[in-house]
Amino acid sequence: MWQPPTDLEQQLHAAKSRGDLASYQRIVGLGEVYLKVPKSDGDALVDGTGEAYSLPLRKELGRQFLDVCTIGELDELDDDWVMFCAQWENLASNDSHRARWFVVNRGTPIEAAFSHDMIQDWLSEPGRPPGRFVHDKLITTGRGPTRGPLAHGLACGAHLAVSNGVVWNSTINTYCGDYTADMQRLRDDWGIESADAWSQQLGYLFEADNSDPAIQVLLSMRRHLGGPAAASLPVKVWRNEFLTWARGKEIPQDALEETIDLMGMILEYEAAFRDAEMMTGDEVVDTVAGYDYGRAVNVIRWGLAARYCDRAAAERLITQAGELSQATYGSWHEYSLGYALGRVLRFDEGAFGSCYRDTR
């Protein structure tokens, strides 16, 4: 029996059940919709040899129909097909769609059809906010795991899933619902353009080798020196211990200075976390390995979307990331602090800008 997979479909179901088409239009019009398109077109767009997807139109009773779905109705695809994410504004502005009807979530109890003119009418309503990608929202699907080892691994990737506005507990072979965006993210952000490169990068993440190794040196040293009272360890003691350790390592002077600066940033971010009530006064972060493990879960999911592995292999790898996290952290609170510190040290660099605000 069909059940609304996410809160969005629940809202659409409620609107349709009471015959409130206006509310249905408002709800579905605020987000994006997804189209099933040929993978060969997606690959051509990624490598620059193509310009657009060919749309899988259906003809019935002399009309053309284009099927679209909402985020919760994204599903596993055959290898020849991928998903494309579209905003209603773009669909409505395309003159080639003027004679077409758009069918939302075909074959489900929340199916609804809209003509091109109907879409333009609701998009032009006064006060309507522009369609945009939804970020920083926890989206859970009732069709994915919420308990057990696989769910634990997926939850390790939830910080980034929330930031990207995607379902956190899904292992279907699409990530954000847009194949070209997934492939471009792998290529541009990770330098990954093949299954071998993907596997190599996962190896680094599983070993927690993707972050600056100096971070872990400093954090481990502080815990060793201060023990349970590491939060009150004098900075001078920590600094002198590091300099003594580094003296025998032939570390260049500029690297020494950068690491001392890093020590200061760690303390500043931890102080900010305490001010934001993210951690208590006697807590410190002992490892940022969670930042690598959490990103690994998302890299696995992008690799699945790229067809670098099958679903079973992806689920095994995600479960492995969860096991590594469990072995490293004693609680979700500790894990989240490690993830947060790893992220701001990598991207915010002491600026306390948008990266820090988003992380907090």
Checking if the pLDDT of 129 tops 70, the result is no
Match 């390995």 to its residue by tokens. 289
pLDDT at residue 59, as a whole number: 87
pLDDT at residue 97, as a whole number: 67
31 backbone dihedrals φ, ψ, rounded to 5° = -115, -160
CB 31 within 8 A of CB 165: no
Residue 112 DSSP SS3 = strand
Percent of the chain with pLDDT strictly greater than 70: 96
3-state helix, strand, coil in the chain (%, to 5): 55, 10, 35
DSSP one-letter code for 41:
H
Tens of pLDDT, residue by residue over 22-66, are 899 989 988 889 999 999 999 999 998 988 888 888 888 888 899
Average pLDDT for the chain: 92
- Dig out the tokens for 294 from the structure: 């959490």
Strand partners, 167: 139
List b or e across 54-63, with b for residues whose CB sees 16 or more CB atoms inside 10 angstroms: ebeeeeeeee
Residue 133 DSSP SS3 = coil
Task: Output the pTM of the full model.
Answer: 0.94
CA separation, residue 78 to residues 1, 38, 143, 301 (Å): 23, 10, 18, 16
CB 305 within 8 A of CB 299: no
